[in-house]
């Protein structure tokens, strides 16, 4: 059995590419449906019942955030901490 989680992300902070990248990273755990409404992405995540939905949701949004950040600020190789 699958359960469905709804997510609502602001387009001004999360890119569509980052959401698809995150969906790819989580493809073995969840199915992601993306739709758009105004300036928001409406996501529906289908998760298996035995998986902690809150944890998956949180991790998924964190991944979206990290992938979106890469588009805003590509790292420079000489910065002291290239991961930030």
Partner 1 sequence: MILSKVKKMKIGQLGNIDINGKSALISVNPKIYTLSAIFSAAQTLSDEAYFIIDGNPSEEIFVEIRGKKEEDATSLAYKFNEELVNHIVYEQRDMQTKKIKKMIMQKMLMPEKYDHYIDKAILEKITKNECELKDDEIDKIRLE
1 versus 77: smaller Cβ distance to partner 1: 77
Contact window for partner 1 (CB under 8 A) among 12-20, 26-34, 41-49:
12-20
Contact window for partner 1 (CB under 8 A) among 19-27, 28-36, 43-51, 55-63:
55-63
Q: Decide: 41 and 48 in contact? Cβ < 8 Å.
A: no
Chain residues in the site for partner 1 (CB under 8 A)? 9-10, 12-14, 55, 57-59, 61-62, 65-66, 68-69, 72-73, 78-79, 84
């Amino acid at each position: 059995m699958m359960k469905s989680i709804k997510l609502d992300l602001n387009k001004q902070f999360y890119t569509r590419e980052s959401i698809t990248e995150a969906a790819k990273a989580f493809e073995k755990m969840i199915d992601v449906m993306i739709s758009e409404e105004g300036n928001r992405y409406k996501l529906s995540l289908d998760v298996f019942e035995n998986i902690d939905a809150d944890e998956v949701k949180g991790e998924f949004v964190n991944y979206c955030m990290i992938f979106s950040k890469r588009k805003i600020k590509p790292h420079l190789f000489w910065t002291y901490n290239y991961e930030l």
